[in-house]
Amino acid sequence: MMNLDLPKLFDLDKMSREPKFKNSFYQQDILSVDQFNRESLSYIFTRAQEMSEMVNKVGSCDLLHGYTLACVFYEPSTRTSASFIAAMERLGGNVIPITQGIKYSSVSKGESLVDTMITLEQYSDAIVLRHPEIGSVAKAAKYSRVPIINAGDGAGEHPTQALLDLFTIRKELGSIDGLRIAMVGDLRNGRTVHSLTKLLMSYDVSLRFVSPDTLRLPLNLMNDLIDKGVDVRETDKVEDVIGDVDVLYVTRIQKERFTDLADYEAVKDYFEITPEVMANAKEKMVVMHPLPRVGEIHYKVDKDPRAAYFRQVQNGMFVRMALLAAVLGQA
């Protein structure tokens, strides 16, 4: 047999996958906002601000060069999937994108969620997962050897959205303590509302919940707020809160969560934030929305400097950059 003298392509002695920083998030699944406290939030927000400054100055870096992220979305997504992909690529990493319809993967052949995760961990260092069933991401994490980040599990939680929402509030208004925050829309099904509400329990805030009676905040969350002594009030009219709040967090009525279309039709146009509504708001306040919107904020409001929802979108990339770097031990 011919003895081929192949060139030595890699000097393994000089190559290392050791983390630069073994912070509290290193190799951890990110499943719920319950994992965060004020100290860990401050850490992520500091890193996110650094990411913002880096992107604004040089565009990208090679912090995660050699790492691969799998993005797996069983439900539609624009901002979450795109921002995770952009975050990984801005940090010099690679992405396996399964975001344009799970029907084009082996799931359409009957492959289980667990088998899909175990397969993708063979190619990646972390997995971002969105799934329509509450608790599905936590289930997948039990079987995966690489960290899994929850990008939304049905009407359950959306932890990274809550992180970027809180980061946006702090960036826009300077602090979080002392604020009065109103959440408007589908509070029963809105996982972004659920996660943000949980995070805000760590701060000295007043909360106002504005929704139709059929879409009120889940009772367990309301009881948690009351038990913690948070100042909370409920109403079904934006006019009751618009003059006093520092943050108006608007959400869409989620058609896909309704089993009876007639129930959706009855509430779909319940709220609309217009320039006329905003005329009664504070001069210094912000309007936020996790997006997409379907009519609950008029397009004319976009020109209002208090409209922060597209700045919120960009902040999502910075926060997810910080989180990916932390989970992979590079921040």
Q: pLDDT tens digits, residue range 25-58?
A: 999 999 999 999 999 999 999 999 999 999 999 9
Q: How many CB atoms lie within 10 A of CB 283?
A: 6
* Per-residue model confidence as pLDDT tens digits over 119-172: 999 999 999 999 988 899 999 999 999 999 999 988 778 899 999 999 999 999
Q: Is the dihedral of CA 267, 273, 279, 284 positive or negative?
A: positive
Nearest alpha-carbon partner for 181 in 246, 277, 135? 246
Let me know how many helices (H) and strands (E) the chain has, helices first. 10, 9
User: Which carries the bigger pLDDT value, residue 103 or residue 269?
Assistant: 269
Q: Which of 9-13, 65-69, 135-139, 274-278 has the lowest mean pLDDT?
A: 9-13
For residue 69, name the pLDDT band (cuts at 50, 70, 90): very high
Structure tokens at 298: 């008029």
Nearest alpha-carbon partner for 269 in 286, 252, 285? 252
* pTM, 2 dp: 0.89
Q: What is the pLDDT of residue 104?
A: 45
Domain boundaries, the chain: 20-157+316-327, 159-314
* Per-residue model confidence as pLDDT tens digits over 272-304: 999 999 999 999 999 999 988 888 999 999 999
Q: How far is CA 95 from CA 67, 82, 253, in A?
A: 9, 11, 32
Residue 289 annotated to the active site: no
Catalytic entry in 47, 80, 160, 268: 80
* Average pLDDT, integer, range 53-73: 96
pLDDT for residue 19 is more than 80: no
* Per-residue model confidence as pLDDT tens digits over 244-265: 999 999 998 866 666 666 666 6
User: Which carries the bigger pLDDT value, residue 10 or residue 133?
Assistant: 133
Catalytic entry in 8, 103, 109, 145: 109
Within this chain, domains 20-157+316-327 and 159-314 share the same CATH topology: yes
Q: What is the mean pLDDT of the chain?
A: 89
Residue 109 annotated to the active site: yes
DSSP state of 30: B
Give, in words, the CATH class of 20-157+316-327: alpha beta
pLDDT for residue 22 is more than 80: no
Indicate the helix (H) or strand (E) that contains 232.
strand 231-235
Catalytic entry in 158, 170, 171, 252: 158
Has domain 159-314 been given CATH number 3.40.50.1370? yes
> Bridge partners of 153?
131
Nearest alpha-carbon partner for 44 in 315, 323, 312, 330? 323
Percent of the chain surpassing pLDDT 70: 87
Catalytic entry in 47, 90, 130, 170: 130
Residue 80 annotated to the active site: yes
Rounded Cα gap, residues 302 and 291, in angstroms: 13
Structure tokens at 192: 């972004």
Catalytic entry in 79, 257, 282, 306: 79
Nearest alpha-carbon partner for 180 in 133, 246, 124, 81? 246
Tell me the three state secondary structure of residue 126.
Answer: strand
